Amino acid sequence: MADDHLRDDTLELLGLLAFFELSEMGEVLGEPDPAQPVAGRLAQARRAGRALERSERVLAEIDRLGGSGLDEMARFDGVFDDFDVRTVASTAAESVLRDYVGRTVAEDFCRVVAAGAEPAARDVVIEVAGVGRVDEALVQAVADAAAADPVLSARLALWGRRLVGEALRLVQGLLVERASFARLAAAARAADAPDAEPAVAADPAPEAALAAADPTAVWILRRITERHAERMRRLGLAA
Amino acid sequence: MADDHLRDDTLELLGLLAFFELSEMGEVLGEPDPAQPVAGRLAQARRAGRALERSERVLAEIDRLGGSGLDEMARFDGVFDDFDVRTVASTAAESVLRDYVGRTVAEDFCRVVAAGAEPAARDVVIEVAGVGRVDEALVQAVADAAAADPVLSARLALWGRRLVGEALRLVQGLLVERASFARLAAAARAADAPDAEPAVAADPAPEAALAAADPTAVWILRRITERHAERMRRLGLAA
């Protein structure tokens, strides 16, 4: 990968993550209040504040690389709208899943692709996108409720599959539409297993169809699907 | 004033300010986006983040005094609802005024009353409530627009009077319903002019009726009205 691509591609990745964290603020404050009024509002406000801090951390990194944070974010204006419209949660448990196994996919994507980015920026992305954004107590409460109620468990498993399906569609779009991400992903894959052969023909997983046999896309989608499956296991739900 | 009152009254004042700043977050993020999408959203997010920081600063002070931030804030749950419902802005300029000459009154009240509070907490209140929350460029843009358009200017002057009327009603309610604030206000007035006679009879200003001839309430409302008039002057509007 040429060095000029590396900087620009890295800036684009940082722009995606900064925009994602900024959009989290609205997401968090737009959610219904799950707890006692003031306590719940303060907890939400603090989650929103942490999302802003993560966005600022990434914007500072864009500055460091000589980019414009606003320009890099503006490229992604609206990129989550389709996902958001298609995954409106109708219960508190669905809302937790939407966060925990849905929007998190955007962060997983950033982390996986970051392996191909400029090294210092890569570390920032991995740090920022790796923060557990979802309240562990809420996740545990959903896991407990699902464990006690097979009907709820089946319903949430279905919801989880729908969320990851929509999220993978989003990721697929980012890879297809942005040469920067395709380059970063290819570099990330090469760094991960330099001698590996694409395993598409040998193991036609469902995501192979989505990825139109692009081995890098298959590799990314598989990495993301693995993380998704792990989260669903933590919830005690069938992935 | 007895010392046990001083601590409890101070905690109540801190609770009001912490709750006000927390409510600002939702206010700021709920406003229509005035600028270019991403730039405007980032600016709003940063304003919301600063409101949270101010709330945290006050909550830390409540901690220092051995109080519970959540309990102190919870006393004020809903206290701004009536004001908010009665002052829905219908234009961007009205929205700026709502912030600049409307909600600001709650901070003015905290600053004035703080003179009667525990000294270290008083300094925190004066610092936190004294931060200019409103974007000066937005204020200037409204002033410029009003200067160029006498009809707009008259309309905004009317809106400003409505805002301050509603805000004074809120303040009046706080003084009447909460003995803590009445005590702090009396102490603040005594500190301000220890030998002053109530001037109600000599100068029956409009707020005298509101305040039902309580000289402390008259003093507070006059202080707040003065600040309001100063802001209206900066906007070039008739107070």
What pLDDT, in 10s, does the model give residues A162-220? 999 999 999 999 999 999 999 999 999 998 876 655 544 444 455 545 545 688 888 99
Q: Touching check for A70 and chain B: CB below 8 Å?
A: yes
ipTM exceeding the 0.90 mark: no
Å between B54 CA and nearest CA of chain A? 12
Task: Return mean pLDDT, chain B.
Answer: 87
Give whole-number Cα distances, B144 to A189, B136, B147, B237, in Å.
56, 12, 5, 11
Q: Touching check for B60 and chain A: CB below 8 Å?
A: no
Å between B33 CA and nearest CA of chain A? 12
Q: pLDDT per residue over B196-212, tens digit each?
A: 555 444 444 555 455 45
Q: DSSP letter for B92, please.
A: H
Residue B98 CA neighbour count, 13 Å, CB half: 18
| Residues in B touching A55 (Cβ below 8 Å) | 42, 45
Q: Touching check for A42 and chain B: CB below 8 Å?
A: yes
Give the Cα separation of B101 and B117 in Å (integer): 25
Residues 6+ apart with CB under 8 A from B43: B35, B135
Q: Touching check for B48 and chain A: CB below 8 Å?
A: yes
Q: Which of A185-189, B134-138, B141-145, B230-234 has the lowest mean pLDDT?
A: B134-138
Mean pLDDT of B27-56: 81
Give the pLDDT score at B70: 96
Give the Cα separation of A134 and A95 in Å (integer): 11
Q: Touching check for B104 and chain A: CB below 8 Å?
A: no
Residues 6+ apart with CB under 8 A from B87: B98, B102, B162, B163, B166
Candidates A29, A38, A69; nearest CB to B26 = A29
Chain B's closest residue to A18, CA to CA, is B42
